[in-house]
Structure 1
Amino acid sequence: MRTLLHPPDSASRAGPLRLAVVGAGPAGLTLALLAAQLLPQAQITLFDARPLDRDVSGDPRTLALALGSVHLLQRLKAWDAAAAEAILKVSVSQAPPTLQHPLFSTFNPGRHEPEVCLSASEQGVAQLGAVISYGHLVAPLQAAWLARAAQEPDRLFSRFGAPVQGLKALDGQGVEVDAGIAEHFDLAVVAEGGVFAEQARKALQHDYQQNAWVGTVTLAPDSPVGAAYERFTRQGPVALLPLKPQLGQRRAALVWCVPQAEDDIAGMTDAQRLAVLNSLLPAGVGALQAVGPLKCFALGLNAERTLVEQGCIVRIGNAAQTLHPVAGQGLNLGLRDAYALVEALRGAEQDLAAALRRVEWQRAPDRWSMIATTDFLARSFAWRWPGLPIARGLALAALQAATPLKKALARQMMFGRR
């Protein structure tokens, strides 16, 4: 029989804030650590279905972090710089048939194709962001949380191996978190995301009918260091993200998006995949030397209209918005969600309603601009309108020529919309 710990009463909000964080992935751990640091009176409990003794450090999934996210993790002393590869340059380009259009040279004289180039040196920063494996991101975050919890066992609690089975709002008296034993909290933050195909459908959802094939490729020895590429093709975007060299070989993470109806990648040999990729990517990448095993994920939009639900449940990261990877901003949005929430709670622990309203308004421009941008781009790859690829290429060329606009775009990609 379940027991409700800390049952609600009329005086319960006079004490310290009781905060539940559901999900010990990057967003959940970041939020828990921030709250432990900036809300010194709050009681914080971190829940995750994963057992504590399961080693996450070897998880090879690749994550792209914006500069603002790197700064946040450095502040938390949970950033393994040695395991990350800096992004020094980002190239966004359009594949043929745009390359020879006569209007192109009007915007980009001397260039061979429509391309927007963003560089750290142009922005006056050491790097635009960084690429790191999931394991090398989560392991330091988890170690930092466990160390902090050991120092403050009376207010910081870990519930690893305890999957949350349900959340129940208690009519203005907080929320019940059911993880085998029901516990009462003032606020629950859901940071469990998952991939589109496995998620329950949210208020805004659209299946793009596209697959993303992800894996690792080997670069030519003379390929540019720290360069990330986004290539718009007729089928969808192809992205390369720089990785730390391995066994003396230069590497990059690959995200290759194609329509499901035209997806024949599974039937290709490695040599065929390599040949197709080399034909799609810009010349500046250099010739790829090899392509490793690829995994396939279905792509879609799955987003809540609001971050706050019933006044006591907040969703952040992929739990709030799962996006197409075309802009690589999903995790970065989640980390900005976490930071904004904790900042709003500082000094307002006794007025949760006002703090949560502030979070909703503050995060709306960043959330909705990114949701709208990625949704538009993802849908546009399914359109077969005459001249659309040329129009997209010309738009890229015009953006490259509009220096102030390009600089504003770079700042937004590094730090979000402010």
Structure 2
Amino acid sequence: MKATMNLAVVGAGPVGLALALHAARALPDARITLFDARPAELDMSVDPRTLALSLGSVQLLQRLGAWHAESAQPILEVHVSQQPPSLGGVLSQWFGEPQVRIRAVDEAVPLLGAVLSYGAIVAPLQQAWLAACEREPKRLTSRFGAAVTALKPVSDGVEVDAGVCETFDLAVVAEGGVFSDQVRKAVTHDYKQTAWVGTATLQDARRGVAYERFTRHGPAALLPLKDGRAALVWCVHSDDDPVSELDDAQRLLVLNTIFHPEVGRIVEISPLKRFALGLNAERTLTDGRTVRIGNAAQTLHPVAGQGLNLGLRDAFELVRSLAGSADVDAVLRRLEWKRAPDRWAIIAATDFLARSFTWQLPGAGTARGLAMAALQAMAPLKSALARQMMYGSR
């Protein structure tokens, strides 16, 4: 990497901070500037939004020295099931109610992933980045409170306008936002689904188990948190939303009829917030000397919980490629085909699952139930799926 390499990172969320911190270590001769519209003094550690990380993402944060295990709840098992009736008749007698169990012990790993708050991810990353800036102030720069309003391609670089125009060899955009607020990209689909999110308190919950339940309205998930609580994601049709008119007590009653009996009793839920769900993805990660990663490149349905994990893999592969070559344009050309298998496999799988809940085809639930029963019975296939979810395509 040439000594004059100037890298701009736009967005100080988990993906942008991870990329900036990794680049600071892997590209010791590069000058790196991190931009974000929020002020640096804003305390991000209190942000309560819940995120699920795969084992691969946990390992990446550990490598960066930005993983605080005490803030996270390990996922030791994932239990996937479908609300009856699924198979019916003879099929139910043969297979029982379909369910899939993926356990860390079966995959010979300490955990499948972890659940923690947005603040518990961002705060350690930002702390590590600011410490690196203090050690190398001439090479690493933070521009908090500076919103990037435009990116303009120039000869052998890109011009970044954040109140003052500066030219960089490469700009990486990791500033995404949620589906409803985004400008539509090349590949887009509105699933006409709403995600209601909050927390639930479980009675006698099994520690470290994540539950996903397929219902006729959409998927619902409980992600384990500490102290017997779980993060709730409840997806329903937007045009016929059965949740919006219910009060918290009524929602609690309905939730206790949705999930698998193994979950036990849900005794309390927090006030729920709702978000529109859709697919919004760029066909390519690169455009000249601008690269988009994370939600800036693809916003996915939460059914598979892979959005952040995919963004972190985008970031690490980009830095690894830059560390191996001084030719930025060649790196960006290779980045497309190196990331394509992992990226499009996750996009396609997530899109397929999300669309399947909008199908009005007879037997769709039965087909999904049979697929789950077959997956549970075929240990090698289930293990391959677990590895894909933990690490992505390698």
TM-score, with normalisation over the residues of structure 2? 0.98
Q: Map of 1:224-373 to 2, 5 A cutoff?
A: 224-245=206-227, 250-310=228-288, 312-348=289-325, 350-373=326-349
Residues 187-228 of structure 1: CA deviation (Å, up to 9, x unaligned) = 0000001000000110011111110000000011x2211000
Residue 104 of structure 1 contacts residue 394 of structure 1 at CA under 8 Å; is this kept in 2?
Answer: no
Give the corresponding residue for 1:69: 57
Give the corresponding residue for 2:129: 145
Q: Displacement of 1:403 after TM fit?
A: 0.7
1:406 is the counterpart of 2:390: no
Residues 365-418 of structure 1: CA deviation (Å, up to 9, x unaligned) = 111011111111111111111111011001000010111110000000000111
Residue 93 of structure 1 contacts residue 115 of structure 1 at CA under 8 Å; is this kept in 2?
Answer: yes
Give the corresponding residue for 2:109: 125
- For structure 1, list consecutive stretches of 5 or more residues without a partner in the other structure: 1-12
Residue 104 of structure 1 contacts residue 397 of structure 1 at CA under 8 Å; is this kept in 2?
Answer: no
For 1:413 and 1:105, locate their aligned partners in 2 and report how far apart those are by CA, in whole Å.
31
Residue 190 of structure 1 contacts residue 314 of structure 1 at CA under 8 Å; is this kept in 2?
Answer: yes
Residues 150-204 of structure 1: CA deviation (Å, up to 9, x unaligned) = 000111000000000000011x420000000001000000000100000011001
For 2:93 and 2:345, locate their aligned partners in 1 and report how far apart those are by CA, in whole Å.
30
Give the corresponding residue for 1:375: 351
Q: Map of 1:90-169 to 2, 5 A cutoff?
A: 90-106=78-94, 108=95, 112-169=96-153
For 2:301 and 2:6, locate their aligned partners in 1 and report how far apart those are by CA, in whole Å.
34
Q: Map of 1:199-238 to 2, 5 A cutoff?
A: 199-220=182-203, 222-238=204-220
Give aligned-pair identity as a percent: 64
For 1:384 and 1:340, locate their aligned partners in 2 and report how far apart those are by CA, in whole Å.
40
Q: Aligned AA for 1:302?
A: N
Q: Aligned AA for 1:301?
A: L
Residues 258-306 of structure 1: CA deviation (Å, up to 9, x unaligned) = 0011113122121210111111100111111111110000000000000
- In the superposition, relative to structure 1, how do residues 59 and 151 fare at CA in structure 2: closer, same or farther (>3 Å)? same
Q: Aligned AA for 1:392?
A: R
Alignment partner of 1:168: what SS? strand
- In the superposition, relative to structure 1, how do residues 191 and 104 fare at CA in structure 2: closer, same or farther (>3 Å)? same
Give the corresponding residue for 1:4: none
Alignment partner of 1:324: what SS? coil
Residue 82 of structure 2 contacts residue 369 of structure 2 at CA under 8 Å; is this kept in 1?
Answer: yes
Mean alpha-carbon deviation: is it higher for 267-276 or for 43-52?
267-276
Q: Aligned AA for 1:63?
A: L
Q: Aligned AA for 1:385?
A: L
Alignment partner of 1:298: what SS? strand
For 1:237 and 1:202, locate their aligned partners in 2 and report how far apart those are by CA, in whole Å.
25
Q: Displacement of 1:16 after TM fit?
A: 2.6
Q: Displacement of 1:104 after TM fit?
A: 4.3
For 1:237 and 1:295, locate their aligned partners in 2 and report how far apart those are by CA, in whole Å.
16
Alignment partner of 2:177: what SS? coil
Equivalent residue for 2:74, pick from 68, 86, 95: 86
- In the superposition, relative to structure 1, how do residues 72 and 337 fare at CA in structure 2: closer, same or farther (>3 Å)? same
Q: Aligned AA for 1:342?
A: V
Give the corresponding residue for 1:384: 360
Residue 33 of structure 2 contacts residue 143 of structure 2 at CA under 8 Å; is this kept in 1?
Answer: yes
TM-score, with normalisation over the residues of structure 1? 0.93
For 2:211 and 2:330, locate their aligned partners in 1 and report how far apart those are by CA, in whole Å.
42
- In the superposition, relative to structure 1, how do residues 173 and 103 fare at CA in structure 2: closer, same or farther (>3 Å)? same
For 1:342 and 1:255, locate their aligned partners in 2 and report how far apart those are by CA, in whole Å.
33
- In the superposition, relative to structure 1, how do residues 379 and 99 fare at CA in structure 2: closer, same or farther (>3 Å)? same
For 1:22 and 1:14, locate their aligned partners in 2 and report how far apart those are by CA, in whole Å.
22
For 1:24 and 1:97, locate their aligned partners in 2 and report how far apart those are by CA, in whole Å.
45
For 2:89 and 2:291, locate their aligned partners in 1 and report how far apart those are by CA, in whole Å.
48
For 1:115 and 1:64, locate their aligned partners in 2 and report how far apart those are by CA, in whole Å.
21
Residue 101 of structure 1 contacts residue 390 of structure 1 at CA under 8 Å; is this kept in 2?
Answer: no
Aligned residues: 394
Q: Aligned AA for 1:141?
A: L
Q: Aligned AA for 1:395?
A: A
For 2:324 and 2:73, locate their aligned partners in 1 and report how far apart those are by CA, in whole Å.
37
Q: Aligned AA for 1:120?
A: A
Residues 108-137 of structure 1: CA deviation (Å, up to 9, x unaligned) = 4xxx41011100000001100000100111
Mean alpha-carbon deviation: is it higher for 96-105 or for 358-367?
96-105
Residue 27 of structure 1 contacts residue 338 of structure 1 at CA under 8 Å; is this kept in 2?
Answer: yes
For 1:324 and 1:191, locate their aligned partners in 2 and report how far apart those are by CA, in whole Å.
18
For 1:346 and 1:85, locate their aligned partners in 2 and report how far apart those are by CA, in whole Å.
33
For 1:62 and 1:280, locate their aligned partners in 2 and report how far apart those are by CA, in whole Å.
21
For 1:321 and 1:238, locate their aligned partners in 2 and report how far apart those are by CA, in whole Å.
22
For 1:261 and 1:86, locate their aligned partners in 2 and report how far apart those are by CA, in whole Å.
36
For 2:273 and 2:87, locate their aligned partners in 1 and report how far apart those are by CA, in whole Å.
31
Q: Aligned AA for 1:299?
A: L
For 1:280 and 1:122, locate their aligned partners in 2 and report how far apart those are by CA, in whole Å.
28
Give the corresponding residue for 2:164: 181
